[in-house]
Structure formats: C-alpha cells, structure tokens
Amino acid sequence: MPSEVLIKGRDAAFFAARLAKALPDLRFHAARDGAEALAKCANAEVLIIRTDEIFAELVDKMPKLRLIQALTTGTDHIQALPNLGKHVTLAAARGFHGPQMSELAFIFLLHFTRDFRDLFATQEAHRWNRVEQSLLVDRTAVIVGVGSIAEDLAQKCKVFGMRTVGVSDGRTEAPHFDAILPRVKLNEAAAQADFLIVLIPHTKETTDLIGKSVFDAMRPSGVLINIARGGVVDEDALIDALRAGKIRGAGLDVFKVEPLPKESPLWDMPNVFITSHVGGMADTYGDQVMPLLVENLRAFTAGQPEKMRFIVKR
C-alpha cells in the first residue's frame, strides 16, 4: 500500500494537515513550490497537485509514482506530459465547482448587461445618471458543454428569467435547459445566443472549437464568455471578431497562454473583461474538495481503484 504522498501548491500545508488527520497511516509532504517539491518527491507514490502546476522534471524524479490526484476538474496539462507512464492512475476533482463557476459567469453576464465600467466611472465623477437599465430576463444563454457545472449555471439563469440552450454530444436533455443541440449544430446554437458560455473541456477534438464560423454565426449583440479552457477558443479569430464588431464583447477567465502575456491586445480592448483564471477558485475550496481526496486516497491505498471517482482515461 502507498505510504508517502506529496502535495504541491500554495495551500499544500493545509491539505497535508487535514488529510493526515483523516488518513493517519500515510505520510504527507507539503511543498509550496517546484524546488521544494523536487526536494521531497523521491519516495512519494501519490502526487496531489493542480493541473497547471505540474512539470516534467517532477514526474521524472518520482520513480515510485502510481497516482496523480488533480485538485482541478481539468487535467489537460498533466495528460500532455510526455513522460507520464500508463501505469500512473490519474484522477480529477469534479462535482463541486458549480457555485464559484456560476458566480463568475454572472459577473460577466451582469457586466455586459449593466456595464460595470460605466457605473464605476459615474460614481467616481460624482455624476447622477438615472437611466433605463438593460435586463437579463428573456435573454438566451447558450452553454457549450452540459455537465454538472452547466446544470448549476442553467438553474441560476432560469432564476433570472433567461432561456437556456445547451450544446452537447453526450446529452439530449438536462435539468434547467430549454433545449440541447448536438455539437454539429453549434453555429445554429450560437446564432441564438445573447451570451455564448463555454464550459467544455479542452481536448484534441475541442481545440479552437469556438472559432471564426461561430463568431460569424453570432449576433453583433452577442457576447462570448469563456470560463473553460483557453485552448477551446481560437483567440486570433476572437480578436478579429471583436475588432470587426461581429460580436459585442467577451468575458475571459482562461487563455491559451497563462498568465496572459502583457503584449496581448486583449488587455486593452474596451469590449473585453478579463479575470485571471479564478473560475474554479473559492475561499471554501479546501472544504469542497476534501471529501473526494479522502475517498479516493482511501480506495487507492486499499487496493480498490474501482471505488475511486473521476478516473481520467488516457
């Protein structure tokens, strides 16, 4: 049975302390950064890490590695490692990101409905500006990718009186959706969107899925919101569409290169609202993910991987 676990990340000490209480037979090593992880990794058979914090040298220095438990829903960076052996089990962390992802989506939804920048400028100028307000009611949210996060978001959209359309090849109906179209009808769905919200994982098949043809299909009043992965959106085509006025704007939390390079034109575009890949983050994240970590580690160390949740097929 595995006996040593390495946890890498800024909150590694928190996870190590909590997990040690729940699983006293395991030894947990906390590492805040890459150098500390390399110094402590040699005997660890389990690695707990966020997907974007992994690097090839760390895997090379872990000859006993048998399990990577991601602290994130996405595992694309981990799967992309050229030296990750097939003998290493990979598990994702899913099923609890709905609240924080939905709230971020609503920051973007409300910004492009009410214009936060103008509201703050009005306050700063001490200017009384009592004008009619745009509403979310009766607007259409098209959500690309219909999983548990999309269900949570769709439920909140319905509370605001919105129409919800999903795009998925895996489901034909889901709670809180008025309709679900297959991916082959993505452009047809995009043409209905006041807000096109991307929640689909990044895979080889979804790379640049939201590209020129999608932007051409959207209304000039339509807004793109990407809270999934940067690789799903063709950023060059997005920039062209924004400059040409083919779409009204974009709310972006994720990018192909992160951190977003300072020279990216997206930073200075007045119709773009940028956040720094915070969609899955919350001050309660440790409490949210802890039951899954305990459950998966307990099953894996007991030699019962079939009882683990969210194993990623590679």
Closest alpha carbon to 209 in 223, 224, 194: 224
CB 60 within 8 A of CB 83: yes
Instruction: Give yes or no: 163 in active site.
Output: no
The alpha carbon torsion through 238, 239, 241, 244 (nearest 10 deg) reads 180
170 contact partners, CB below 8 Å, separation of at least 6: 146
Catalytic residue among 229, 243, 309, 314: 229
- Distance, in Å, from the CA atom of 236 to the CA atom of 254, rounded to the nearest integer, reads 14
Per DSSP, the three-state class of 7 is strand
Instruction: Give yes or no: 277 in active site.
Output: yes
- Distance, in Å, from the CA atom of 148 to the CA atom of 141, rounded to the nearest integer, reads 16
Name the token pair of 25: 């037979």
Closest alpha carbon to 198 in 312, 75, 80, 105: 105
Phi, psi of 131 (to 5 degrees): -130, 165
Residue with tokens 């020279």: 263
- Distance, in Å, from the CA atom of 152 to the CA atom of 155, rounded to the nearest integer, reads 5
- Distance, in Å, from the CA atom of 177 to the CA atom of 127, rounded to the nearest integer, reads 41
**Angle 88-229-259 (CA atoms, 0-180°, nearest 5)?**
95
Catalytic residue among 18, 163, 277, 298: 277
259 preceded by cis ω (within 30°)? yes
Q: DSSP string spanning 144-176?
A: ES-SHHHHHHHHHHHHTT-EEEEE-SS-S--TT
> Which residues are the active-site residues?
229, 277
